[in-house]
Structure 1
Amino acid sequence: MPLRFLDGGESHGRALVAILEGFPSNYEVDIDYINHQLSRRQKGYGRGQRMTIEKDRVEVWSGLRGRKTTGNPITLIIKNKDYENWKGYWEKDIKKEDKIGIARPGHGDLVGFYKYKTGDIRDIIERTSARETAIRCAVGALCKQLLEDIGIDIRSKVHSLGEFYDDNVDIFNDEIYDIINRSPMRCYNKNIETHMKNTIDMCKEEGDTIGGRAYLSIRGVPIGIGSYTNWDRKLDGILSMAILSIQAVKAVSFGKTLELPLIGSVYNDEAYLEDGAIKRKTNNCGGIEAGVSNGENIEIYAVIKPIPSVKKGLNSVDLINKSNVISRYERSDVSAVVPATVVLENVCAFHILDEILKKFPSDDFYELKNSIDRYKEELLSY
């Protein structure tokens, strides 16, 4: 059975909810691990006032007996504390004069207004909000935890913010990664961190927002995950779709594609044998060839656009009154780059586990683990 989930909920509604199906049985879940991922998502320099209101904690309403999964659908709930301040919006009809018609350029306001025709942009705001990523992180954290127990580790950092780029470092070096995790910018170079923070401060003072790039690396994915036999089974295509579905992500690349001269003899990763094992001199393609994992780290860069809720205002249109106006401001972060790194980890974890389960169909966790261990042994002797 493929892994799948459906999530629902509004930014200021009662709760965010997801139902996850296809997760193996007999896996011992650490709820604290999931809550730690939710906490990581709420941190970072440039976050807004909402993060001081919500203290996200997940509740599991089905699919567990004690702490172990049963194979039944898993229901995850994150309650919104801010709902108490918004009860009136959900419990009564909104007067025409209270409906929102002024669209923010770059947001879902305008397209949602015309697509669903509810006559109030608030309905679009409530679902397009990046608050939705909290429940996706909860689902992904459950998958990420299992992946770690079968030898797959997912880590991330901020690659750039505005014009400032962090050092290229080995994030699987625990000492280096500890520095990154303690940084409010989730970067390694302290001098660059200062520049990034100052840039965010300047944007906040000017009523502006700023974007950047996130870097993600996945270690331990064996050769053969994904497929080139059909267009919709390619691993890089699947991951790209998932990443681009995250709010504010506008571009994704694998490996050093955007950094190197696109010359065949330079770009392509030469291979050689050493003690019977295939090695690579480089990992410019980012661990995926022809839509299939090649055993190297899967390395991904995602471009996070500036948040469209710009306090200084942009030229826009009042869609209800049909007039030219300055865009309205909705409470938001100054930059989403730091939390985006954490969201990327957990979103990708779901899809990596899904592809693992397609390669090794398993109803039970120990069956899955044994299948992967046997496969890795077979690869060594093939």
Structure 2
Amino acid sequence: MLRFLDAGESHGKAMISIIDGIPSNFNIDIDFINNELKRRQSGYGRGERMNLEEDRVEFLSGVRGKNTTGNPITMVIYNKDYENWKEIIGKEPKSEEKIVVPRPGHGDLVGYFKYGTGDIRDTIERTSARETSIRTAVGALCKEILKELGIEIRSKVHSLGNLYDDAVDIYDDTIYGKINKSPVRCYNAEVEKGFIKKIDICKEQGETIGGSVFLSIKGVPIGVGSYSQWDRKLDAILSYGIMSVQGVKAIEFGNGLDLNLRGSTFNDEIIYENGNIKRKTNNCGGIEAGVSNGENIEIKVYIKPIPSIKKDIGTVDLRKKKETSTRYERSDVSAVIPASIVLENVVAFYILREIMNKFTADEFFELKRSINYYRGTVYLR
């Protein structure tokens, strides 16, 4: 079973992961992984920390030369900003140095009471979206493997505030090239200007803004996932992974939130096209009864505004036990743009895990042969 743990703190020495279950003999392109980390750090509205860090991954085990060995893989991303924080992170704080004013919407208050360390700093260090750097690296390795198996994952920003980008075919390379060149990862040039203006206004006002991301996974064969048990349903598994990303508050598969559609128009009619089974539409988002149906898996992910804002809102001082104004911790204006990259890589891990659950293999070429044989014979049953 493919699995991983990650560790590390926002201003600690490094972010680390150990991945178990990656098949042997896969040739890793480390530049691909580092480019995914670079994509995560780019985008309009990013905070000043992105000017400090230049994330690059290092392999400490499980890789010989460029090839995976089948052993557990250890990946590390060193935090450059640690040098500016080591005197704070590396010592026991004095009572007056402890953070006791929680930011509404963050994990500050719940972490303070759950773990009882008496310092919100300990919660901040782990709840920070900095954790998504190592999850992106893990997912990028999985994404590389999926690409070799004929499975591709792409994304775009769907909305920012109340502005929505056009619905387009993101598997058209010309269209997707334009999206990737956009500082806000959208297609429509006028909408791009609107997104940028919204971010600028929020920055001036000491505010943050949320929005949504469109994710699409192409090439997953029919039959991945299962309805035989509730915890094996593919959409449930993907939801679990997506909801674990900081700031995510809702998920939609296909057009599941279009309440105007009736059964006769929502359900995707099945047709034969050039000898293959296809769907006229994809309202279900590529998953039925918890199992992939061969169409693109399409998901919209809704992300809240970042809770660390400069504008004053009410909170409490936990030491003095009285109401006060919130404090500001360095942050971006919007998490939506980098979240689109993070989410691509997060879902890559879960898709590869479910692929490997169906096509069990210890070695990469064995895995590739199994999935190719299945694709060629599944509709002959």
Match for residue 47 of structure 1?
46
**For residues 201 and 375 of structure 1, what CA distance do their matches in structure 2 show?**
50
Partner residue in 1 for 2:234? 235
Secondary structure, aligned partner of 1:86? helix
Instruction: Tell me what 1:184 maps to.
Output: 183
Other structure's SS at 1:75 match: strand
Q: Aligned partners of 2:348, 2:329: CA distance in 1, in Å?
A: 31
The residue number in structure 1 matching 2:26 is 27
Retained in 1: the 8 A contact 2:111–2:120?
A: yes
Letter of the structure 1 residue corresponding to residue 147 of structure 2: E
Root-mean-square deviation over aligned CA pairs = 0.7
Larger deviation, residues 289-298 vs 371-380? 371-380
Structure 1 residue 193 corresponds to structure 2 residue 199: no
Inter-partner Cα distance in structure 2 for 1:164 and 1:176: 20
Q: What is the CA deviation profile of residues 335-369 of structure 1, one whole-angstrom value per residue up to 9, with x for unaligned ones? A: 00000000000000000000000000000000000
Equivalent position amino acid for 2:332 in 1: D
Residue 90 of structure 1: aligned partner: 89
Q: Which runs of 5+ in 2 are unaligned?
A: none
Q: Give the aligned partner of residue 354 of structure 1.
A: 353
* Superposed displacement of residue 260, structure 1: 5.0
The answer to whether the 8 Å contact 2:252/2:299 transfers is yes
User: In the TM superposition, what are the counterparts of 1:98-117 in structure 2 within 5 Å?
Assistant: 98-117=97-116
For residue 199 of structure 1, report the CA deviation from its aligned partner: 0.4
Alpha-carbon distance between aligned partners in 2 of 1:295 and 1:221, rounded to the nearest angstrom: 6
Residue in structure 1 matched with residue 68 of structure 2 by the alignment: 69
Distance in structure 2 (CA, Å) of the matches to 1:302 and 1:274: 31
**Cα offset for 1:89?**
1.6
Are 1:310 and 2:309 counterparts? yes
**The residue matched to 1:380 in structure 2 has which SS?**
helix
* Aligned-pair CA distance for 1:378: 1.1
For 1:275 and 1:166, the matched residues in 2 are separated by 33
Measured against aligned partners, the alpha-carbon deviations of 1:130-156 in whole angstroms (never above 9, x if no partner) come to: 000000000000000000001000000
Q: Alignment partner of 1:210: what SS? A: coil
Q: Deviations over 1:109-129 (max 9, x none)?
A: 000000000000000000000
Give how far 1:266 is off. Answer: 1.4
Once the two structures are superposed, residues 179-226 of structure 1 have per-residue CA deviations (whole angstroms, 9 ceiling, x without a partner) of 000000000001000000000000000000000000000000000000
Separation (CA, whole Å) in 2 of partners of 1:183 and 1:155 = 15
User: Equivalent residues in 2 for 1:211-360 (5 A)?
Assistant: 211-259=210-258, 261-360=260-359
Preserved contact between residue 217 and residue 298 of structure 2 (Cα < 8 Å): yes
SS of the counterpart of 2:320? Answer: coil
Determine the C-alpha separation between the residues in 1 that align with 2:100 and 2:133.
Answer: 27
2:17/2:75 contact within 8 Å kept:
yes
Q: Distance in 2 between matches of 1:274 and 1:204?
A: 51
Cα distance in 1 for partners of 2:337, 2:244 equals 17
- Indicate conservation of the 8 Å contact 1:119/1:320, yes or no: no
Equivalent-residue separation in structure 2 for 1:364 and 1:272 (angstroms): 36
Alpha-carbon distance in structure 1 between the residues aligned to 2:280 and 2:288: 15
Contact map agreement 1:260 1:267 (CA 8 A) in 2 = no
Deviating above 2 A after TM superposition, structure 1's stretches of 4 or more consecutive aligned residues are none
The 2-side partners of 1:91 and 1:105 are apart by: 27
SS in 2 for 1:198: helix
Paired residue type of 1:187: C
TM-score normalised over the length of structure 1 = 0.99
- Aligned counterpart, 1:123: 122
Partner of 1:368 in structure 2?
Answer: 367
Q: 1:12 is matched with which residue?
A: 11
Q: Which deviates more from structure 2 when the two are superposed, residues 90-99 or residues 29-38?
A: 90-99
AA in 1 matched with 2:43: G
Question: Are the counterparts in 1 of residues 11 and 89 from structure 2 also a CA contact under 8 Å?
Answer: no
Q: Is the 8 A contact 1:261 1:267 kept in 2?
A: no
Q: How far apart are 1:313 and its partner, in Å? A: 1.9
> What amino acid is aligned across from residue 252 of structure 2 in structure 1?
S
Q: Which amino acid aligns with 1:100?
A: I
Post-superposition Cα deviations, 1:296-355, rounded to whole Å, max 9, x if no partner, equal: 000000001000001112100112221101010000000000000000000000000000
Alpha-carbon distance between aligned partners in 2 of 1:275 and 1:313, rounded to the nearest angstrom: 61
**1:144 counterpart letter in structure 2:** K
- Name the structure 2 match of 1:57: 56
Alignment partners' CA distance in 2, 1:275 and 1:185: 38
274-283 or 77-86, larger mean C-alpha shift: 274-283
Identity %: 64
Moved more, 39-48 or 90-99: 90-99
Q: How far off is 1:377 after superposition?
A: 1.1
Distance 1:248 1:44 in 2: 17
Paired letter, 1:42: Q
TM-superposed CA distance for 1:275, in Å, is: 3.4
Q: What secondary structure, in the 3-state scheme, does the structure 1 residue paired with 2:93 have?
A: coil
The alpha carbon displacement at 1:262 in A equals 4.0
Q: Distance in 2 between matches of 1:116 and 1:40?
A: 34
**Greater shift in the superposed pair: 227-236 or 272-281:** 272-281
CA deviation profile, 1:205-249 (whole Å, cap 9, x unmatched):
000000000000000000000000000000000000100000000
**Please, which runs of 5 or more residues in structure 1 have no aligned partner?**
none
On the 8 A contact 1:33/1:141 being kept in 2, the answer is yes
CA distance in 1, matches of 2:124, 2:91: 18
